[in-house]
Structure 1
């Protein structure tokens, strides 16, 4: 794979990298980073890691004026695109289509040079964040060759069949588990040994979750409500990405142009929870994860959008049956006991 990206307005190359297509049982994970700031156009930061057959990139953009990202990846590759924040549009992208990016969108495709490039237009005064994972065909096939769950997947069979056909992107929406795995992949630099093997494990887990979303929808998903499910999936993903400042039902209904009463009824019917209860559940699950990553209570309250620390502690105790301090103490005790047993 040859991976190229350039900001057109200032002729600034962000990435120009050759990644061999071959799969290796063991390999050294290499890091790539690029930071560019122009006071009149934008600030662009790329952090990536790669091995033969695999390229994973996180990009954060803060624009002043509208900019255009001219990107191209050549060679047969499978692309997973996770759009986490902002607004942008693509001209003549995969399938020769023009399309808009939406927050929470998960796009996947099997591409080569004919479909692996386009122009991405990012509006001025905007902030954009996304993660893209690209695998060579050989890497993808070897990664999943022993996984039985993927055998009947239509997308997988399309890849096995041969050359890409430059089809339009398949569109899904992220959930909490998807985001958690992405974070674990992107922040694995603390692993001193077997980092590559960790990445392969996490990629299989991520692809399994995507497979589940494709065939069965998100967890607790009941029978679909006709065409409204697509909108509900967008709303669900949007809420997950904005747990620090979740919009009200009234705001959501305006944003997604739905009747407020119908939105509340359909959301509960599909996901088994009210929108309010869904936000609380997502916040508390994220709170426990962040707590075990050494964030203090004040940080947790701020990251999850609670203006009162005492209110956050009360909600946490109601949900988990103990305070954050008690939960952390139990976790440390359990971890210490496990380490003693191993020692």
Structure 2
């Protein structure tokens, strides 16, 4: 699998890499590359993780003028694309389609050289942040060969057919679990190289399983209620902006939805108000941070609460005990 990306205006190749998969390989070092472009109003950071059968890139752009990003990937491969922020429009992408990337979405596809390329326009003064996960067909099949739950996954069955059809991207939406797994993969630098490859493989399996649950939940919910993609996109947008969540009026403006209808559809779909959902997810994230060695002051700061006392009050109201009591319950009172 050859994968390549370049910025047309700067005449700069971001990467041009050959990724192969060798099942018999016992040592699988994870190569990390970091690139910075700061060129006359164009700022770009790029982090690449590449290893046996796998290529992961995290890209951030901000520019005072539109940028044209061209990419291509040869040979059959599986692609997951996560769009975190900004604006970009794609021409001649998967399925030969033109489309706009939406914040909070995850695209998955099985592609060959046809469909494995395209052009994206990154809008000026807005920028974009996205993560691309690409793997060879052999890597994917070997990674999931013992996972029987995938027998019920239509995307997996499509991959097992072995014949990419250049279908349009399947669009899913980020949740807290998918976001957390992605961050763990990207932030695995401190791990011994002997174990890092296996850690990343486990996390990729978990990522794919989480997407499977996401797709299954979406399919089930539409049997009861058929929300527009906008409502699911709103939820993903909230998850990506937990530190500074927009209110319903701001969301209505961002997604061009009537505010009253947005509130009604959101509550019908998720069984709670937008505010209650934000509190619930922030408190889930708070518990995770507490168990990751962050103290109460740090968690309150990370979640952008105005005061530690306010954070403690919300936490206790939601869980029935204070953060300190929660940590003690799990036998970790040294964290407070």
Regarding TM over 0.5, the answer is yes
Distance 1:186 1:126 in 2: 23
The 1-side partners of 2:16 and 2:120 are apart by: 17
Query: Who is 2:204 aligned against?
Result: 203
**SS of the counterpart of 1:3?**
strand
* Residues 177 and 319 (structure 1), Cα distance of their counterparts in 2 relative to 1, 3 Å cut: same
Q: Which residue of 2 aligns with 1:293?
A: 292
Aligned residue for 1:151, secondary structure, equals helix
**In structure 1, what is the Cα distance between the partners aligned to 2:241 and 2:42?**
24
- Distance in 2 separating the partners of 1:294 and 1:259: 42
1:150 aligns with 2:150: yes
Query: For the structure 1 residues 206 and 290, does the alpha-carbon distance in structure 2 shift closer, same or farther, using more than 3 Å as the test?
Result: same
Cα offset, 1:283, TM superposition? 0.7
Tell me the residue number matched to 1:279. Answer: 278
Does residue 265 of structure 2 align to residue 266 of structure 1? yes
Q: Distance in 2 between matches of 1:72 and 1:186?
A: 22
User: Superposition RMSD on alpha carbons, in Å?
Assistant: 2.2
Which structure 1 residue ranges, 5 or more long, are not aligned? 337-343
Correspondence for 2:188: 188
Instruction: Report the TM-score when normalising by structure 2.
Output: 0.92
192-201 vs 179-188, which moves further: 192-201
Question: 3-state SS of the aligned residue for 2:6?
Answer: strand
Residues 68-89 of structure 1: CA deviation (Å, up to 9, x unaligned): 1111111210000011111101
Q: Is the 8 A contact 1:66 1:121 kept in 2?
A: yes
Contact 1:23–1:53, Cα closer than 8 Å, also in 2 = no
Q: CA deviation at 1:31?
A: 2.4
In 2, Cα distance between the equivalents of 1:277 and 1:24?
Answer: 50
Structure 2 CA distance for partners of 1:160 and 1:75, relative to 1, 3 Å: same
Report the Cα offset of residue 202 of structure 1: 1.4
State the alpha-carbon separation in 1 of the partners of residues 205 and 310 from structure 2. Answer: 38
How far off is 1:243 after superposition? 0.8
* Distance in 1 (alpha carbons) for counterparts of 2:301 and 2:62: 22
- The match for 2:305 is 306
Relative distance call for 1:289 and 1:24 in structure 2 (3 A) is farther
Distance 1:63 1:297, change over 3 A: farther
Q: SS of the counterpart of 2:20?
A: coil
TM-score w.r.t. length of structure 1: 0.90
Matched, 1:85 2:85: yes
Which residue of the partner structure matches residue 52 of structure 1? 52
Q: Residues 305 and 335 from structure 1, CA distance in 2 versus in 1: closer, same or farther, beyond 3 angstroms?
A: closer
Mapped to 2, the partners of 1:278 and 1:310 lie a distance apart of 21
1:115–1:9 CA distance, 2 compared to 1 (3 A): same
Q: Deviations over 1:73-132 (max 9, x none)?
A: 112100000111111011111111111001001001111211111111101112321111
Change (3 A) 1:325 1:85: same
Shift in alpha-carbon separation, 1:217–1:25, aligned structure 2, 3 A: farther
SS of corresponding position for 1:162: coil
After superposing the two structures, state which structure 1 stretch, 179-188 or 294-303, moved more. Answer: 294-303
Deviation at 1:218, TM superposition (A): 9.0
1:315-334 CA distance string (max 9 Å, x none): 12222333334444554538
Shift of 1:25: 6.2
CA distance in 2, matches of 1:55, 1:216: 28
- Asked whether the 8 Å contact 2:327–2:333 carries over to 1, the reply is no
Measured in 2, the distance between the counterparts of 1:24 and 1:87 equals 42
Listed one character per residue, the Cα deviations across residues 129-160 of structure 1 (whole Å, up to 9, x for unaligned) are: 11111110111111111111101322111111
Instruction: Give the equivalent residue in structure 1 for 2:234.
Output: 235
